[in-house]
Chain A
């Protein structure tokens, strides 16, 4: 396919000398080599060392392992500290999925109202929501609020916090998309006897499918990879999340790099799968958010 493409290009540019073509290939190879060296070697390094014995991994080299210890390394990592990683994967999944469900419903509802209505009050409310894109969350006061609601160190607590801090970005995405849905649809539905709630949930919400996908993917990566908020609002060994296990294992495994890297590899797999399936959507969502934000 590439070759055919190249041929048509050649036909258009008959004056392209073979020398120029050669230098083009050379430049291109250099670019690819640099990309591999800078962006991919670190991942290869993690992977190959997670397959080694701890003595070999201690050399911190890119060399091929003389002996593969894959199954043993990964079972050790899973079983460490009373299956902490299993608990962590469960907790992270629960937090990620629940926050996303809340975000999809609540952020889209709010975005619909803020996009459709106008007036000073509405624009002030919208500004307060969007300010959340900039403002760093106030750490100790948030813990104080969570404690008074008896939600500190609980799954519902961290889920609600993750939802709160992710609302602004999700709302921007929803508002941008809802702006493209004609208001005639609303009017037709009202004539058919809908009120605000039935209009939104019966008519608008299903139309949001494409942007739901973007919201799900971007938030999944964000929330699954988050370290800071679970560190503050969901502390304690029994409350592990995947990013925290990594951090805890850093001290425990300071002599067994193979195990630490196995852990790194394991928690990188979920975002990697998302990347493989949805890379186009992720890029589109991130640029859309950026340009509007």
Chain B
């Protein structure tokens, strides 16, 4: 029975969004759990139990992608927090050029990932690239950023940080702007210096912003595909493959069941990493 009040807010207004989202997002997500247990060509399927998942964890190439996804997500999230925090401190100080610096830091977030990937794969060219030529000026012999299997993943991670740190920075700035000025005056009266103010006021009170940055960066990092694809294609070998790029490769090769199993693994990974973190963080915020 609808009360008079809720009758005003008819659920029929929900229907269009629910239909589009339900049919093209929720339904495929639910079906992915079923199809990940099959060998499948879009029209016919055979049930093969856990074979796809077993394949995923036994095949070395696929396992590397699994490990890489973790490394990539945590490295990018960590760097975004540290660099974003430092930039935000800088940009909330009395810097006279802060508007310029903030715009410059933020702009890459609006540029397409593929464009950024192409630009940096050229800038990271081992001999001709601008980065190594600049390093050579100060006597550093720059590495083969994308061609060396031990560096490729981290190089892509650095570019991801370059592109995404602007969002982290503006989130931190928004958090810091909401800290009352009196706190800083109080610590000054007590004889604290700027470092004390950062440690005892800015850092603890930026906690909600830090949480938002970590969660956003982890979700983005775990799902990354386009940047890796534009810069290394997952190579050299499989050294910079991520789960999302494996999903694409298996799809291209026609292994739809295996590709979907990759999707399910990615889903579970995001859920396992992000969801508890989210719960933990929101609980801590209440304590503050």
Contacts and interface: CB of A to CB of B under 8 A. Distances in A.
Interface of A: 2, 6, 28, 31-32, 35-36, 38-43, 45-46, 59-62, 102, 105-107, 109-110, 112-114, 116-117, 119, 125, 128-129, 132-147, 149, 160-161, 163-165, 167-168, 171, 186, 190, 195-197, 199-200, 221, 224-225, 227-228, 231-232, 242-243, 246-247, 250, 257, 260, 264, 267-268, 271-272, 274-275, 279, 282-283, 286-287, 290-291, 293
B118 A260 contact: yes
Given A106-B16, A287-B174, 4 more contacts: A136-B267, A142-B25, A161-B24, A283-B106
A156 to B, nearest CB: 11
Contact of A117 (B9, B123, B267): B9
Those 5 A-B pairs whose CB atoms lie nearest each other, nearest first: A138-B32, A196-B10, A141-B28, A110-B17, A225-B112
B189 interface: no
Contact of B8 (A35, A36, A45, A199): A199
A291 B208 contact: yes
A279 B96 contact: no
Contact of A286 (B114, B170, B215): B170
B260 interface: yes
A36 B104 contact: yes
A186 B115 contact: no
A206 B86 CA distance: 41
B286 interface: no
Interface residues of B, number: 86
A246 B18 contact: no
A117 B198 CA distance: 43
Contacts of B26: 128
Contact of A112 (B13, B27, B107, B114): B13
Contacts of B288: none
A137 to B, nearest CB: 7
A107 B17 contact: yes
Interface of B: 6, 8-14, 16-18, 20-21, 23-29, 31-32, 35, 40, 42, 90, 95-97, 100-101, 103-115, 118-120, 122-123, 125, 128-130, 162, 167, 170-171, 174, 208-209, 212-213, 215-216, 219, 222-223, 225-226, 229-230, 244, 247-248, 251, 256, 259-260, 263-264, 266-267, 270-271, 274-275
A10 B90 CA distance: 21
B13 A291 contact: no
Contact of A228 (B20, B35, B90, B226): B226
B20 A102 contact: yes
A234 to B, nearest CB: 13
Nearest to A274: B110
Contacts of A186: 8
A276 to B, nearest CB: 10
Contacts of A163: 20
Best-buried of B13, B120, B167 by chain A (most CB within 10 Å): B13
Given A42-B123, A128-B26, A136 B244 contact: yes
Contact of A232 (B101, B213, B251, B267): B251
Given A128-B26, A227-B112, A279 B103 contact: yes
A225 B111 contact: yes
B225 A228 contact: yes
Best-buried of B16, B28, B266, B274 by chain A (most CB within 10 Å): B28
B241 to A, nearest CB: 16
B244 A164 contact: no
B106 A164 contact: no
Contact of B219 (A2, A106, A134, A232): A134
B106 A145 contact: no
Contacts of A200: 13
B216 to A, nearest CB: 6
A246 B107 contact: no
Contacts of A60: 122, 125, 128-130
23 contacts: A6-B96, A28-B96, A42-B123, A45-B119, A60-B128, A107-B17, A128-B26, A138-B32, A139-B259, A145-B27, A167-B17, A171-B17, A186-B8, A227-B112, A231-B248, A264-B119, A274-B110, A283-B170, A286-B109, A286-B170, A286-B171, A290-B216, A291-B212
B115 A246 contact: yes
Contacts of B275: 134
Contacts of B229: 227
Best-buried of B6, B110, B256, B264 by chain A (most CB within 10 Å): B110
Given A31-B97, A137-B25, A279-B103, A59 B128 contact: yes
